[in-house]
């Protein structure tokens, strides 16, 4: 049954409205073909009733005419499907999943719905294997776990692109299992896209898939591209036993696209104009990370969230933080001090690291060392504040040791530049700087580890 | 059901999880419906406007067609109640997730109709009343042993009369275990192990009692500073990263209750995986059985359908009430009620209702009250006379960590204890990050029970800690200005002791075998060490002994670490520390007694 509609009533970019024929069983979410003078466009049914069908047009509605015979609309009986294949590894695609690297089109091994289905909670395997990013603030203090979703909260003007490029190039699973990285650019600048491409090519792109939706591409594509990327990831991870690390940059563009469409639909907004269902919508993306019992592969997500005006309580980072398993927060202060990567340790957290690190995976002392570093750094900040008020002459000897420790923590442990460190190197550096505060202060570390790893400083 | 009597209608509108249906010949709010003969989606009528039914769907509506057939099933959304509930994992509308996995594999597809309870499994029923007994609603007629719990079988509502047949034996939940000659009715009532109850209607009770026994949680800061009573209501608000879920998990593991109902409402899949993974391995200290055997889990993660998330809270409380009616103490943990409120908001938005603050519907407070008021210490209907309870501990996830948002403020109206989690404490890795200034508990009538049945000194210790912590709060700012070394020695002692108490008592490491559960005895002995240190040092400082002497005590480091080093079965070690502390303090006293 292919009814052709020519009765468009309203065009509100990117949405079209028309009244359906009473007995036409239009499917919710089905694909719509829109024939215009310039050619064919694709849309999707957002909601449907006997009075009105709302269609969202992926390419935008510019030039679509009302009251003209030229615009023809047909409803297909299918929902949106995307072709996935192992051939995609090493290739570059646009926001609709079409190759943009000049290579041949992909022959799909399978067609899949991009919305995905929720993983049954009883079938989930609890994540307990690590990914080494080569960055001490990740590996040492906020270890990334396979199957985790760990966002980077950043601000405008902070070097998150550089950090991401470094993670993409250096991340590894340290076991001989297949590992693929998917880079999903959502509303990124053309120049950033070029930067990433150049950076990625430094290390080679044979284990990388890129999906790029540029800031100048249609808004609707931003809502689709992460779903295509995740559908690909699910195919590789759960059908072909691969460990997939997926970078979503930037989820703020995604959320803003969501708000744009919601606003045009005339929905009732919740916080800051974002729709009330944004939590569920973001969850439908983030919750596609994970592991499944009996399957070898995993999907790990690093979404990048630009905090508008550095505000961590803004709905986008806030709702993200409630869904993801921790967060890595970049600090403007660190960046201004010249520290790279400017990761602020106290606000950062990896919820899943506790069960995944330690003997047999990273090193036995990892958990205690991480906890001690946090406590000591926190102590350092308090002493620094005190020092700035009462002067450095009035603080105790122990306090002075903490000041030395804190300085090394920021400028040496955190500020690693573009070098790559293994877990062992990160932990050794940690012991080295913990040496500054002396054995007696290491109350969070088991005595046997102190015996084994403690680095005595001559000044003590 | 006779095919001809089917009440059917057709879909006239689909908008997200809300659809409208025209053509039902009769219908009531609350009726369950089956949507589309192709997709078989479950839904519930939530409104009727001009004969058009407004329905919330418990599944994804993508792929649903306009004009699809909808059948009105004419019964409300109900829970199946009976043996087999424990050790189960359900979605928001009581579909067993394990069974779903057997049918659809690793991912959940829509359109499944699965019974909550196994129809085939046989249970040994042991009657506790005889033929000829006159019974009525709520009376216990026998029990089934479900793991270590006496699963009592009760006479349902609307039945009263004489038992004409009852027998011991192995039955499945649909077999008749007992026949009752129903008063005023022609037909005998055939009692089965299975019963049903609609989730939106509270199960009736005889009368409400004043909660006066503490619920021992095994978390020191709660048991001592912010206690909850059995049958009480607590809210645990906290921004992300403050450790709400870890608190909830810890309560589910260690709280002293007969049955735990854990509702993972709109939360993370990996966290549910953590629970599902660890619970079968963890052992209940009371009977050495796996903890899962006293637990019912509802897992409606954030990416599962939003209407089922809305229902999950009421599904959970209905199952909790069923066990309460057997005379059990039930602990219901809801993580998180904010996700539930957001589901309400989302549905309200789809219904195009006028929003109030934060976009939430005007009935948010009413619905919250409907939920929280189902907690309590209750005298049950029926014989034998029994008392049961439901304690609710609900996590709240305020947007932006702002406690003035509508869900937190409205929840505060219905709870008597408030455990405020603080991001600054969490940043310093002080867990559980309960802020002692913003938290409160109005269950201050528990002292008597503590003194008589658990441990002496509870009230006194509480006062002492509160004093030290509040004094510390006052002194902190001055100390920051002039440096702690320049404060008078007694004030330095306050600051020092407060830090010891934080580090050695309030912080509790959920991943340390000795520390994650603190028995009331350990809690009390531990705190008495810190208070003894404080009191005796103070009296010596008043005799002009300089403060630095007390900072140097070697035993202090052991006391500070005692929570990690001393296990619950080895509390003698704390007595030993107590002796060492006395000895060291005495030594100081002697030294200075000679000098002065």
Contacting residues of B for A268, CB less than 8 Å apart: 349, 352, 355, 359
Reference B343, options B91, B56, B111; nearest CA is B56
Q: pLDDT tens digit string along B465-485?
A: 999 999 999 998 888 888 788
| pLDDT for res A460 | 45
| pLDDT for res A458 | 63
CB contact under 8 A, B12 and A117: no
CB contact under 8 A, B61 and A28: yes
Query: Can you tell me the mean pLDDT for B188-210?
Result: 95
Contacting residues of B for A354, CB less than 8 Å apart: 511
Say whether both B416 and B281 belong to one domain.
yes
Say whether both B237 and B363 belong to one domain.
yes
**A116 — contact with chain B (CB < 8 Å)?**
yes
Residue B103 has pLDDT above 60, yes or no: yes
Query: Which CATH number fits the domain that encloses residue B549?
Result: 1.10.1140.10
- The reply to whether B566 falls in a domain is yes
- Annotate A175-213 with b (16+ C-beta within 10 A) or e (fewer): eeebbbbbbbbbbbeeebbeebbebbeeeebebbbbbbb
- The reply to whether B189 falls in a domain is yes
Stretch (H or E) spanning A95: none
Query: What's the burial of B207, exposed, middle or buried (CB within 10 Å: 0-12/13-18/19+)?
Result: exposed
Residue B596 has pLDDT above 70, yes or no: no
- The reply to whether B535 falls in a domain is yes
Say whether both B422 and B571 belong to one domain.
no
CB neighbourhood size of A77 (10 A): 13
CB contact under 8 A, B480 and A389: yes
CB neighbourhood size of A337 (10 A): 14
Contacting residues of A for B276, CB less than 8 Å apart: 121-122, 124
Say whether both B465 and B432 belong to one domain.
no
Contacting residues of A for B301, CB less than 8 Å apart: 118, 121, 283, 287
| Residues 295-324 in B contacting A (C-alpha not used; CB under 8 Å) | 299, 301-304, 306
**Cβ atoms A345, A136 nearer than 8 A:** no
| pLDDT for res B155 | 95
Q: Which residue of A has its CA nearest to B342?
A: A276
- Please report, for chain A, how many H helices and E strands are present, in that order: 14, 21
CB neighbourhood size of B495 (10 A): 18
CB contact under 8 A, B106 and A295: yes
| Residues 250-269 in A contacting B (C-alpha not used; CB under 8 Å) | 267-269
CB contact under 8 A, B480 and A323: no
- The reply to whether B575 falls in a domain is yes
**How are beta strands B31-35 and B41-49 bridged, if at all?**
antiparallel
pLDDT band at B434 (very low <50, low <70, confident <90, very high): very high
- The reply to whether B182 falls in a domain is yes
Q: C-alpha distances in angstroms, A309 versus A114, A249, A332, B401?
A: 32, 18, 11, 17
- Annotate A285-313 with b (16+ C-beta within 10 A) or e (fewer): bbbbbbbbeeeebbbbbbbbbbbbebebe
Contacting residues of A for B400, CB less than 8 Å apart: 313-315, 318
The interface predicted TM-score (ipTM) is 0.89
Gap between the Cα atoms of A187 and A224, Å rounded = 11
Q: pLDDT tens digit string along B303-330?
A: 999 999 999 999 999 999 999 999 999 9
Say whether both B508 and B473 belong to one domain.
yes
Q: Which residue of B has its CA nearest to A31?
A: B63
Q: C-alpha distances in angstroms, A12 versus A76, A185, B182, B209?
A: 22, 26, 65, 60
* Domains of chain A: residue spans and CATH: 4-79 (2.40.10.170), 82-356 (3.40.50.12240), 366-453 (no CATH)
| Residues 318-377 in A contacting B (C-alpha not used; CB under 8 Å) | 318-319, 321-323, 325-327, 346-347, 349, 351-352, 354-355, 367, 371, 374-375
Strand ranges (DSSP E) for A71-158?
A: 72-79, 81-84, 92-94, 110-113, 124-125, 130-131, 144-145, 152-154
Kindly report the CA angle at A354 between A349 and A356, in degrees rounded to 5? Answer: 115
Range of the domain at B549: 455-595
Three-state DSSP class for B465?
helix
Q: pLDDT tens digit string along B46-64?
A: 999 999 999 999 998 989 9
- The angle, 0 to 180 degrees and rounded to 10, between the axes of the packed helices B406-414 and B337-350 is 120
**A392 — contact with chain B (CB < 8 Å)?**
no
Residue B7 has pLDDT above 80, yes or no: yes
Gap between the Cα atoms of B94 and B72, Å rounded = 20
Query: Can you tell me the mean pLDDT for B261-266?
Result: 94
CB neighbourhood size of B81 (10 A): 25
Three-state DSSP class for A170?
helix
CB contact under 8 A, A386 and B428: no
| Residues 474-513 in B contacting A (C-alpha not used; CB under 8 Å) | 480-483, 485, 503, 511
**A307 — contact with chain B (CB < 8 Å)?**
no
Nearest C-alpha of chain B: how many angstroms from A53? Answer: 9
pLDDT band at B1 (very low <50, low <70, confident <90, very high): very low
Split into its structural domains, chain B has a count of 4
Say whether both B485 and B432 belong to one domain.
no
CB neighbourhood size of B37 (10 A): 11
Reference B62, options B44, B41, B31; nearest CA is B41
Query: Can you tell me the mean pLDDT for B385-391?
Result: 97
Contacting residues of A for B239, CB less than 8 Å apart: 313, 318, 321
- Tokens 């690693």 correspond to A416
Say whether both B300 and B436 belong to one domain.
yes
Residue B75 has pLDDT above 80, yes or no: yes
CB contact under 8 A, B359 and A271: yes
Reference B44, options B86, B8, B75; nearest CA is B75
Domain boundary among B60, B77, B94: B77
Q: What string of H, E and C letters represents the secondary structure of B401-425?
A: HCCCCHHHHHHHHHCCEECCECHHH
Q: C-alpha distances in angstroms, B170 versus A165, B28, B178?
A: 65, 39, 13
- The angle, 0 to 180 degrees and rounded to 10, between the axes of the packed helices A219-234 and A278-286 is 40
For residue A59, is it left (φ>0), alpha (ψ between -120 and 50) or beta?
alpha
CB neighbourhood size of A274 (10 A): 23
| pLDDT for res A270 | 82
Q: Which residue of A has its CA nearest to B13?
A: A49
**A395 — contact with chain B (CB < 8 Å)?**
yes
**B65 — contact with chain A (CB < 8 Å)?**
yes
Backbone angles phi, psi at B549, to 5 degrees: -60, -35
- The reply to whether B199 falls in a domain is no
Which among A29, A30, A120 is the nearest to B97, CB-wise?
A: A120
Backbone angles phi, psi at A364, to 5 degrees: -50, -35
Token digits of residue B536: 């005796």
pLDDT band at B395 (very low <50, low <70, confident <90, very high): very high
Q: Which residue of A has its CA nearest to B477?
A: A386
**A118 — contact with chain B (CB < 8 Å)?**
yes
Beta partners for A208? A181
Nearest C-alpha of chain B: how many angstroms from A294? Answer: 10
- The reply to whether B87 falls in a domain is no
Reference A31, options A18, A17, A49, A44; nearest CA is A44
Residue B102 has pLDDT above 80, yes or no: yes
Contacting residues of B for A375, CB less than 8 Å apart: 428-429
DSSP state of A104: P
CB contact under 8 A, A121 and B274: no
For residue B198, is it left (φ>0), alpha (ψ between -120 and 50) or beta?
beta
CB contact under 8 A, B16 and A47: yes
Would you give the end-to-end CA distance of chain B in angstroms?
97
- Annotate B239-260 with b (16+ C-beta within 10 A) or e (fewer): bbbbbbbbbbbbbbbbbbbbbb
Gap between the Cα atoms of A36 and A41, Å rounded = 8
Gap between the Cα atoms of B502 and B481, Å rounded = 22
Which among A123, A267, A279 is the nearest to B106, CB-wise?
A: A123
Which among A49, A269, A396 is the nearest to B13, CB-wise?
A: A49
Say whether both B383 and B411 belong to one domain.
yes
Nearest C-alpha of chain B: how many angstroms from A125? Answer: 6
Domain boundary among B404, B423, B443: B443
- The reply to whether B95 falls in a domain is no
Gap between the Cα atoms of A95 and A42, Å rounded = 14
pLDDT tens string, chain A, 460 residues long: the values are 578 998 898 999 889 999 999 889 999 999 999 998 888 999 999 999 999 999 999 988 888 888 888 889 999 988 889 999 999 999 999 999 999 999 999 999 999 999 989 999 999 999 999 999 999 999 999 999 999 999 999 999 999 999 999 999 999 998 899 999 999 999 999 999 999 999 999 988 899 999 999 999 999 999 999 999 999 999 999 999 999 999 999 999 999 999 999 999 888 888 889 998 899 999 999 999 999 999 999 999 999 999 999 999 899 999 999 899 999 999 999 999 999 999 999 999 999 998 899 999 999 999 999 999 998 999 999 899 888 888 888 788 889 999 999 999 999 999 999 999 999 999 999 999 999 998 888 888 888 999 999 988 765 4
Token digits of residue A448: 């046997």
Query: Can you tell me the mean pLDDT for B114-131?
Result: 96
Say whether both B361 and B476 belong to one domain.
no
Reference A285, options A251, A316, A261, A260; nearest CA is A251
Residue B3 has pLDDT above 60, yes or no: no
CB contact under 8 A, A267 and B483: no
- Tokens 């970078």 correspond to A247
DSSP state of A320: H
Say whether both B558 and B419 belong to one domain.
no
Gap between the Cα atoms of A283 and A289, Å rounded = 10
Token digits of residue A411: 């400028």
Beta partners for A294? none
Nearest C-alpha of chain A: how many angstroms from B173? Answer: 25
Contacting residues of B for A148, CB less than 8 Å apart: 270
Query: Which CATH number fits the domain that encloses residue B50?
Result: 2.40.30.20
Token digits of residue A13: 């970019």
Say whether both B355 and B401 belong to one domain.
yes
CB contact under 8 A, A280 and B277: no
| Residues 175-194 in A contacting B (C-alpha not used; CB under 8 Å) | none
Rg from Cα positions in chain B: 28
Say whether both B272 and B408 belong to one domain.
yes
Domain boundary among B394, B423, B443: B443
Nearest C-alpha of chain A: how many angstroms from B299? Answer: 7
CB contact under 8 A, B346 and A280: yes
């Amino acid at each position: 049954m292919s009814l052709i509609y020519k009765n468009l009533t309203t065009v509100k970019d990117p949405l079209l409205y028309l009244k359906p024929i009473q007995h036409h069983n239009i499917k919710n979410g089905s694909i719509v073909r829109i024939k215009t003078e310039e050619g064919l466009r694709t849309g999707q049914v957002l909601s449907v009733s006997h009075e009105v069908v709302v269609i969202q047009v992926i390419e935008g509605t510019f030039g679509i005419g009302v009251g003209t015979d030229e615009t023809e609309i047909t409803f297909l009986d299918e929902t949106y499907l995307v072709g996935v294949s192992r051939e995609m590894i090493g290739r570059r695609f646009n926001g609709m999943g079409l190759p943009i690297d000049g290579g041949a089109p992909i022959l799909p091994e399978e067609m899949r719905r991009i919305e995905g289905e929720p993983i049954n909670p009883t079938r989930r395997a609890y994540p307990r294997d690590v990914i080494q990013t080569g960055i001490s603030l990740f590996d040492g203090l906020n270890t990334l776990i396979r199957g985790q979703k760990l966002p980077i909260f950043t601000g405008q003007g902070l070097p998150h692109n550089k950090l991401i490029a470094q993670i993409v190039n250096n991340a590894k699973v340290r076991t001989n299992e297949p590992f693929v990285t998917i880079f999903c650019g959502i509303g990124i600048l053309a120049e950033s896209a070029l930067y990433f491409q150049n950076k990625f090519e430094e290390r080679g792109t044979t284990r990388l898939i890129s999906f790029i939706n540029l800031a100048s591409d249609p808004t609707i594509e931003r809502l689709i591209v992460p779903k295509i990327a995740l559908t690909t990831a699910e195919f590789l991870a759960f059908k072909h036993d691969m460990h997939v690390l997926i970078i979503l940059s930037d989820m703020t563009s995604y959320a803003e696209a969501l708000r744009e469409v919601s606003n045009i639909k005339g929905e009732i907004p919740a916080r800051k104009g974002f729709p009330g269902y944004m939590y569920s919508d973001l969850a439908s993306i983030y919750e596609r990370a994970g592991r499944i019992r009996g399957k070898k592969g995993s999907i790990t997500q690093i979404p990048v969230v630009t905090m508008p005006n550095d505000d961590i309580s803004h709905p986008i980072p806030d709702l993200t933080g409630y869904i993801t398993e921790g967060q890595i927060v970049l600090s403007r202060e660190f960046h201004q001090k010249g520290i790279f990567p400017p990761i602020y340790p106290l606000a950062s957290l990896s919820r899943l690291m506790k069960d995944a690190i330690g003997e047999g995976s990273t090193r036995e002392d990892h958990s205690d060392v991480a906890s001690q570093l946090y406590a000591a750094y926190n102590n350092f900040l308090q002493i620094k504040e005190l020092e700035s008020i009462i002067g450095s002459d009035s603080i105790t000897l122990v306090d002075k040791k903490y000041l030395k420790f804190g300085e090394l923590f920021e400028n040496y442990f955190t500020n690693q530049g573009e070098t790559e460190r293994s877990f062992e190197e990160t932990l050794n550096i940690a012991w080295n700087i913990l040496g500054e505060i002396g054995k007696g202060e290491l109350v969070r570390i088991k005595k046997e580890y102190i015996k084994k790893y403690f680095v005595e400083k001559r000044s003590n | 059901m006779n095919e001809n009597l089917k009440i059917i209608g057709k879909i006239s509108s689909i908008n997200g999880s809300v659809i409208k249906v025209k053509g039902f010949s009769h219908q009531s709010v609350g009726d369950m419906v089956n949507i589309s003969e192709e997709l078989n989606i479950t839904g519930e009528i939530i409104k009727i406007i001009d004969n058009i039914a407004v329905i919330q769907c418990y599944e994804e509506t993508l792929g649903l067609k306009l004009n699809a057939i909808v059948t009105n099933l004419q019964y409300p959304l109900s829970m199946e109640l009976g043996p087999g509930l424990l050790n189960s994992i359900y979605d928001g509308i009581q579909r067993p997730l394990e069974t779903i996995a057997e049918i659809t594999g690793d991912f959940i597809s829509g359109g499944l109709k699965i019974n909550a309870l196994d129809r085939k499994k046989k249970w040994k029923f042991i009657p506790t009343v005889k033929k000829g007994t006159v019974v009525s609603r709520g009376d216990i007629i026998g029990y089934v042993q479900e793991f270590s719990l006496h699963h009592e079988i009760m006479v349902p509502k609307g039945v009263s009369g004489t038992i004409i047949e009852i027998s011991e034996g192995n039955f499945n939940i649909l077999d008749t275990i007992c026949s009752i000659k129903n008063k005023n009715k022609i037909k005998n009532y055939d009692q089965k192990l299975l019963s049903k109850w609609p989730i939106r209607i509270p199960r009736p009770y005889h009368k409400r009692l004043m909660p006066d026994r503490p619920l021992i949680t095994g978390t020191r800061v709660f048991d001592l500073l912010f206690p909850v009573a059995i049958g009480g209501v607590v809210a645990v608000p906290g921004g992300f990263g403050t450790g709400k879920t870890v608190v909830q998990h810890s309560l589910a593991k260690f709280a002293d209750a007969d049955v735990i109902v854990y509702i993972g409402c709109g939360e993370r899949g990996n966290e549910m995986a953590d629970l599902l993974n660890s619970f079968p391995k963890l052992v209940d200290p009371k009977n050495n059985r796996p903890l899962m055997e006293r637990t019912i889990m509802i897992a409606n993660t954030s990416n599962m359908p939003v209407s089922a998330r809305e229902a999950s809270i009421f599904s959970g409380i209905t199952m909790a009430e069923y066990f309460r009616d057997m005379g059990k103490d039930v602990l219901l943990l809801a993580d998180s009620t904010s996700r539930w409120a957001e589901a309400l908001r989302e549905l309200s938005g789809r219904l195009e209702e006028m929003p109030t603050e934060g976009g939430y519907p005007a009935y948010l407070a009413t619905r919250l009250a409907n939920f929280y008021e189902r907690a309590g210490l209750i005298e049950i209907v029926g014989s034998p006379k029994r008392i049961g309870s439901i304690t609710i501990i609900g996590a709240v996830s305020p947007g932006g960590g702002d406690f003035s948002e509508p869900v937190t403020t409205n929840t505060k109206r219905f709870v008597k204890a408030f455990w405020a989690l603080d991001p600054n404490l969490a940043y310093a890795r002080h867990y559980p990050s309960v802020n002692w200034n913003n938290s409160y508990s109005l269950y201050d009538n528990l002292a008597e029970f503590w003194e008589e049945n658990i441990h002496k000194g509870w009230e006194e210790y509480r006062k002492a800690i509160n004093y030290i912590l509040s004094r510390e709060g006052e002194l902190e700012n001055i100390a920051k200005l002039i440096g702690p070394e320049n404060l008078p020695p007694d004030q330095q002692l306050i600051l020092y002791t407060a830090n010891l108490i934080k580090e050695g008592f309030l912080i509790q490491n959920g991943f340390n075998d000795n520390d994650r559960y603190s028995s009331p005895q350990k809690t009390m002995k531990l705190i008495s060490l810190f208070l003894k240190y404080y009191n005796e040092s103070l009296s010596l400082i008043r005799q002009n002994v300089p403060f630095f002497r007390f900072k140097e005590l070697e035993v202090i480091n052991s006391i500070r670490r005692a929570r990690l080093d001393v296990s619950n079965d080895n509390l003698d070690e704390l007595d030993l520390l107590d002796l060492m502390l006395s000895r060291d303090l005495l030594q100081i006293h002697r030294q200075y007694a000679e000098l002065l």
